[in-house]
Structure 1
Amino acid sequence: MTWEILNILAVSAFAFSGSIVALNERYDIFGTFILGIATPFAGGIIRNIALDVPVVHVWEQGYLLYVAFGTIAIVYFFPKSWVMSWDRWNIYLDAIGLSAFALQGASFAIENNFPLGGIIFASILTGVGGGVTRDVLAQRRPMVLHQEIYAVWAMLSGLLIGLGIINIESAWQTYSLFIAIILLRVLSYHLGWHLRFRDMYRL
């Protein structure tokens, strides 16, 4: 039940985020649905390809596909003035998707008996892969490469889970990490935390 809830939150959040970006870029209905579907599911595909794991199960998402399609339809068919006003919440939706998918990626790696490095790698790819795909398809610079601290929080999830500090079999520990990563991502956005150390020494 824990992972079902997290997956629903992650898919709906990233589908919403991808749809909002598509509408901001004036995509048509086909482009909106493509970007809305790619954002929640591309991370898992990229992760499986990178880890040499079959991607067939990614297409067997069942009800999660309906969650994504339903979310995209709501965004696309609601009055545009309403939807554009929701754009201010995109950072929070992105944080939810990043956190949930980072945890899901780490869990996937553990189930497939990967070592610590593989767990961290899977967590990063699953957490940021969808957002990178969204930005690339929208012809934007992926924010993981230039804005604030982003992928670090996915890496932190994988590290804590891989070291056994967080037990993913425990619902309360999983949800605690999920909320903590969301808060860290939002704080890093609002406080402008970044990794551009050279700026610290610029004259």
Structure 2
Amino acid sequence: MTWEVLSIIGTIAFAISGAIIAMEEEYDLLGVYILGIVTAFGGGAVRNLLIGLPVSALWQQGELFLVALISMTVVYLFPRQMLPPWKRWGNFFDALGLSAFAIQGALHAVKMGHPLSAVIVAAVLTGSGGGIIRDVLAGRKPLVLHAEIYAAWAILAGLAIGLRWANSPMELYILFIAVAALRILSYTYGWKLPRRAVGEKVGGR
């Protein structure tokens, strides 16, 4: 039941973030729904393809699709009422979604007997793949790859599960809290990974 609640929280957070970005880009109603659905479920779909799960398994999550649709509809109909609380709490719920989805993705890969590399990829794609697809479709640089420490926390979740540091339900809950807390701390204090610019672009442009 706890994981189901966390999945609902993550689905709501990701669907709303996709819908808000679509509205910022002035997409029409269909575009809002498509971008929200892609954000909430796109990472899981790509993960399934890579680790050998049937993509059709996504369609068994009818309740989560309904939750996503309701969330996006509320945001679309009442943007002025929804945006202030989202700006205040959106990153918090997004952190919960990242942690829950990354752990679930890693567990899927472990259950299928995949190596550590596949477990990490499954965690990253499930936790942050939807956001990457969202930003690409919106014509933006994927924020999770350059602006904030985001995917790195999904990698941490994948490592912990792939190396069997977290096996029991209690250990998984502790891992969930740790990953969510690190994500919250990283955006609160503006932590960033090292980056290096090449300088002059090719051709001097």
TM-score, reference length from structure 2: 0.88
Q: CA deviation at 1:83?
A: 2.5
Q: CA deviation at 1:90?
A: 2.9
RMSD of the alignment, in Å? Answer: 1.7
Q: CA deviation at 1:109?
A: 0.8
Cα distance in 2 between the residues matched to 1:192 and 1:120: 24
Q: CA deviation at 1:33?
A: 0.8
1:181: which partner in 2? 179
In the TM superposition, 1:16-31 aligns within 5 A as: 16-31=16-31
- Please say if residues 17 and 93 of structure 1, whose CA atoms lie closer than 8 Å, have aligned partners that are also in contact: no
Percent identical residues? 50
- Please say if residues 51 and 109 of structure 2, whose CA atoms lie closer than 8 Å, have aligned partners that are also in contact: no
Cα distance in 2 between the residues matched to 1:17 and 1:175: 25
Deviates more, 1:46-55 or 1:182-191: 46-55
SS at match of 1:148: coil
Residue by residue, what CA displacement relative to the aligned partner does 1:157-203 show, whole Å, maximum 9, x if unpaired? 01111122112x41x3323222221211121112222222548xxxx
Deviates more, 1:103-112 or 1:43-52: 43-52
Residue by residue, what CA displacement relative to the aligned partner does 1:72-114 show, whole Å, maximum 9, x if unpaired? 1111112x22223234133223222211110110111122121
Cα distance in 2 between the residues matched to 1:118 and 1:95: 22
* C-alpha distance 117-59 of structure 1, shift in aligned 2 (>3 A): same
Residue by residue, what CA displacement relative to the aligned partner does 1:54-74 show, whole Å, maximum 9, x if unpaired? 211112212111111111111
After the TM superposition, which segments of 4 or more aligned residues of structure 1 sit over 3 Å from their partners? none
- Please say if residues 123 and 158 of structure 2, whose CA atoms lie closer than 8 Å, have aligned partners that are also in contact: yes
Cα distance in 2 between the residues matched to 1:87 and 1:73: 15
SS at match of 2:129: helix
- Please say if residues 14 and 97 of structure 2, whose CA atoms lie closer than 8 Å, have aligned partners that are also in contact: yes
Cα distance in 2 between the residues matched to 1:77 and 1:133: 24
In the TM superposition, 1:149-160 aligns within 5 A as: 149-160=149-160
Q: CA deviation at 1:40?
A: 0.9
In the TM superposition, 1:54-203 aligns within 5 A as: 54-78=54-78, 80-88=79-87, 89-167=89-167, 169-170=168-169, 172-198=170-196
- Please say if residues 9 and 100 of structure 1, whose CA atoms lie closer than 8 Å, have aligned partners that are also in contact: no
Cα distance in 1 between the residues matched to 2:126 and 2:25: 25
1:47: which partner in 2? 47
Task: Report the count of equivalent residues.
Answer: 196
